Structure 1
Amino acid sequence: MELQKDIREFVELLLSEKVEFLLVGGYALAVHGAPRFTEDIDFLIQVSPENADRIIGVIEKFGFGDLEIERDDFLKADYIIQLGMAPNRIDLLTGIDGTTWNESWNSRIPFELDGLPIQVIGKDQLIRNKLASGRSQDLADAERLQQS
């Protein structure tokens, strides 16, 4: 799976700054054998003071330091920060439906995304997430995941 240049650079920064994150959403679907078109890449970010500091550093180095994104934004439950525009938007999530950070982290699988070693939410937790959201697209995703 090849990443767009800016997204690849962002993932490289996440890794170099040691941000604790998981790939979720549409890209995770593809990892688990149920690909579909998506206009963004979704990362679940662990909520902790140390991780909040790290992700703010990434955002500044990536060139979004002028945005009014604060450390405390990454300490809030179920918060979404969007960087950029579709089809190359980056969504940073501090929570997802149907599962906790610990459950998601404990289910993770290692994956090489465009040559970068990342962690992806496990299939069962991704299904739980999709079912809990209740949106028609997510319910269809869950069904495809269960069949893959």
Structure 2
Amino acid sequence: MPQRERSLAGVVRAAEEVLRKNRVAHVFVGAISVIVFGEPRTTRDVDVLARIPEEKAGRLVRDFRRRGFFASEFDLSAAIREHAHCSIEDRRGPLRIDLAPAADSTAERALRTSVGVRWKGITIPVSAPEHTVVMKLKFGSSQDLEDAAGILAGQWDQLDFAGMRAFAENQRVETSLERLIRRVKAARTVSVAAAPSAGTRSSAGRRRKRGRRRTIRGR
């Protein structure tokens, strides 16, 4: 009997199990961070940054293979040496894990500031929302900008704006960040203005209840 196609959460779970088992420091970035902190979206890639000693490449590959993934020790070792990403394909579906070594200060920052998040029944380290917003602005595609806006809107009250602005300046996207903040803030203002306040709803509710009681008594 053919195995059921693995879900996105199943691929994330497998990556987390393999990397944690082998004590490899790692963080989920990209679309997974957007899904966790922003808005639902589709993706075929599970992007992971990791500190991978080359001597662990063989064990990682064997553990991925045991879980039904196509993985190459040669490719992973080469990716570690060349600071490139290595694709690990799921044999049970169209998804893949893009595993990349933490090769620069930005990747190291993603690891250092990662946030442990409970998602789909598993706890995973995810790139902090502030970090993800700035990197999305740096990449700059239309999808990246919408992802950044979704995270800002979804996490507004919990964000470290000072830290995010400092990182944006470091990545030279401070102007783009301020523009996006103004856009999301304006949308929030319109949304709040359009929604009735709790007091108004409560008062209206009381009037409706009183009206119903009067109608009943009138009968």
TM > 0.5 between the two?
yes
Give unpaired runs (5+ residues) of structure 2: 1-6, 155-219
Is contact 1:105-1:121 (8 Å) kept? yes
Q: Is the 8 A contact 1:23 1:43 kept in 2?
A: yes
Asked if 1:143 is matched to 2:145, the reply is: no
User: SS of the residue aligned with 2:75?
Assistant: coil
Higher RCO, 1 vs 2 (CA within 8 Å, ≥6 residues apart): 1
2:134 counterpart residue number: 128
Question: Which stretch of the first structure deviates more once superposed, 122-131 or 28-37?
Answer: 28-37
Count the aligned residue pairs.
Answer: 142
Matched, 1:92 2:99: yes
Say whether the 8 Å CA contact 2:102–2:108 is kept in structure 1: no
What is the CA deviation profile of residues 14-38 of structure 1, one whole-angstrom value per residue up to 9, with x for unaligned ones?
A: 1111111101111111111322111
* Partner secondary structure for residue 68 of structure 1: helix
Q: Which has the larger radius of gyration?
A: 2
Quote the residue 2:23 is aligned against: 18
Partner of 1:35: 40
* CA separation of 1:2 and 1:113: change in aligned 2, threshold 3 A: farther
Map of 2:82 onto structure 1:
76
CA distance in 1, matches of 2:103, 2:32: 15
Q: What's the % identity of the aligned pairs?
A: 25
Match of 2:166 in 1: none
- Given the superposition, is the C-alpha separation of residues 55 and 3 from structure 1 closer, same or farther in structure 2, using an over 3 Å criterion? farther
- Structure with greater strand percent: 1
Aligned to 2:167: none
The 1:55/1:124 distance shift into structure 2, 3 A limit, reads: farther
Could you say which residue in structure 2 is the equivalent of 1:108? 114
Residues 60-91 of structure 1: per-residue CA shift (max 9 Å, x gap):
222245563142421433x1211116732111
Residue type of the partner of 1:90? Answer: I
**Whole-angstrom CA distance in 1 between matches of 2:100 and 2:72:** 20
Distance in structure 2 (CA, Å) of the matches to 1:19 and 1:89: 19
**TM-score where L is the length of structure 2:** 0.55
CA RMSD of superposed structures (Å)? 2.8
Q: Indicate how the Cα distance of structure 1 residues 9 and 126 shifts in structure 2: closer, same or farther if over 3 A, else same.
A: same
- Alignment partner, residue 57 of structure 1: 59
Decide whether aligned partners of structure 1 residues 66 and 134 sit closer, same or farther in structure 2, where only a CA change above 3 A counts: closer
Q: Which amino acid counterpart does residue 144 of structure 1 have in structure 2?
A: G
Does structure 2 retain, via aligned residues, the 8 Å contact 1:27–1:35?
Answer: no
One-letter identity of the residue aligned with 2:142 = S
User: Do 1:96 and 1:129's aligned partners in 2 also have CA atoms closer than 8 Å?
Assistant: no
* Amino acid aligned to 2:34: L
Q: What amino acid is the match of 2:60?
A: V
2:40 maps to a residue whose letter is P
